[in-house]
Amino acid sequence: MKTSCYFDLKKIPLLFLFFFSLLIVKAQELKGVVLNEKTNEPIIGASVYFNNTSVGTTTNFDGEFYINLQQPINAPLVISFVGFETKIHNITHFDTKKTFKLREDVNTLEEVVLDSKDEWSRAFKLKQFRKEFLGRSAFANQCTILNEDALVLNFERDTKQLIASAKAPIIVKNEALDYIVKYDINDFYITYNMDVNASLDLEKVFRTVASVSYSGTTFFENIETKKHKRAIKNRKKAYIGSTLHFMRAVANNKLRQEKFKIFKGSYQVEPSNHIKTFKNDSLKVTEVHLSQKLNILCKGKQSAIESEVDRFIIDAYGNHSPIDKVLFGGFMANQRIGDVLPLDYGL
């Protein structure tokens, strides 16, 4: 017995694309539950997000969460809740439901004892923190820290450092870019070039910052104000010449198309001679080897890059790792929270 089938060829590509999209979404769905380690009870309203992105959610009444990803991401997953220790987990498989147990953070219950030798007023320390945490750009000036009371600031004269910590994630409203940014501080240090034995002239401190070092996890929440169209344009301005822009251009071999110029010292060079890329299809990342320290120019913005490892990797979002082994200078190094975009920007 013969059978016959009829296909409308015009519909096949559309049907194939539809089913393919379903498969991709299903493959990248992350499911899990967040529990109290001590009681095994669900934690309601815990934040679960991929670091430095707007990809995330909160747990429901059963402590469960669901996150859909459009493409693979190399950023670690962050699970946090006030009063509990933050857990950071690298996700390698999405096909199984994850269980995360958070431990109560005893440090949040302890009273913070400040150094009695700290002669700086809280108002002055807050001013210093804002400038180095938010930045000094036009966009940074439109940022407001909504919960400054959570900040613990202490100046240590012996180490010449202003040290910041926080009792809860710092919440920043960025009106220029239309984001609510939640930053969970791990470490924050401002180191000063100053004679600790001399009388302290606070007005000169602004010009004596030697270095700024900080680490933490970040989640971006999109908001739409009346000036959202302007914010979209501002995001584009912040993106041009940024670390994210550069990493994506490197991974996609589009440095020239994206208007990046590469210099060895003061001499312009061919990017491919000094920036070698290797596609790793199994991990869906691009491995990058830098021959040496290089200078970067993009539409008037000057930066520098140097790698302390033979190869670092860039994922589909433009996220690079290990993040602490790739060093930046100039414009890219000076970008602070007020100018930073989530890794999924524009995707």
Residue 145: count of CB within 10 angstroms of its CB = 20
* Same-domain pairing of 64 and 90: yes
Residue 231 lies in a domain: no
Domain final residue pick, 187, 222, 257: 222
Give residue-wise pLDDT tens across range 187-225.
999 998 876 555 555 555 555 888 888 889 999 999 988
Task: Note down the domain range covering 143.
Answer: 111-222
Distance, CA of 307 to CA of 181 (rounded, Å): 28
Domain final residue pick, 107, 128, 146: 107
Distance, CA of 227 to CA of 176 (rounded, Å): 9
Contact (CB, 8 A) for 75 and 51: yes
Average pLDDT over residues 41-51: 95
% of the chain surpassing 90 pLDDT = 66
* Same-domain pairing of 218 and 116: yes
The first and second tokens of residue 86, run together, are 């933050």
Residue 132 lies in a domain: yes
Of 6-20, 254-268, 270-284, 309-323, which range is least confident? 6-20
Give residue-wise pLDDT tens across range 110-142.
444 555 567 788 999 999 999 999 998 999 999
Domain final residue pick, 107, 138, 168: 107
Residue 235 lies in a domain: no
* Same-domain pairing of 143 and 200: yes
Which regions of 64-103 does DSSP assign to beta strands (E)? 64-68, 77-80, 87-89, 98-102
Give residue-wise pLDDT tens across range 263-316.
999 999 999 999 999 999 887 899 999 989 999 999 999 999 999 999 999 988
Distance, CA of 328 to CA of 231 (rounded, Å): 26
Residue 4 lies in a domain: no
pLDDT of residue 93: 79
Distances from the Cα of 225 to the Cα of 53, 138, 170, 229, 233, angstroms: 20, 18, 21, 9, 14
Residue 306 lies in a domain: yes
* Same-domain pairing of 63 and 32: yes
* Same-domain pairing of 258 and 315: yes
The first and second tokens of residue 72, run together, are 């693979």
pLDDT tier at 74, thresholds 50, 70, 90: confident
Residue 116 lies in a domain: yes
pLDDT of residue 200: 55
Residue with token string 């008037």: 300
Distance, CA of 149 to CA of 147 (rounded, Å): 5
pLDDT tier at 14, thresholds 50, 70, 90: very low
pLDDT tier at 107, thresholds 50, 70, 90: low
% of the chain surpassing 70 pLDDT = 85
Residue 139 lies in a domain: yes
* Same-domain pairing of 129 and 63: no
Higher confidence at residue 140 or residue 26? 140
Residue 343 lies in a domain: no
* Same-domain pairing of 145 and 133: yes
Q: How far apart are the first and last CA of the chain?
A: 51
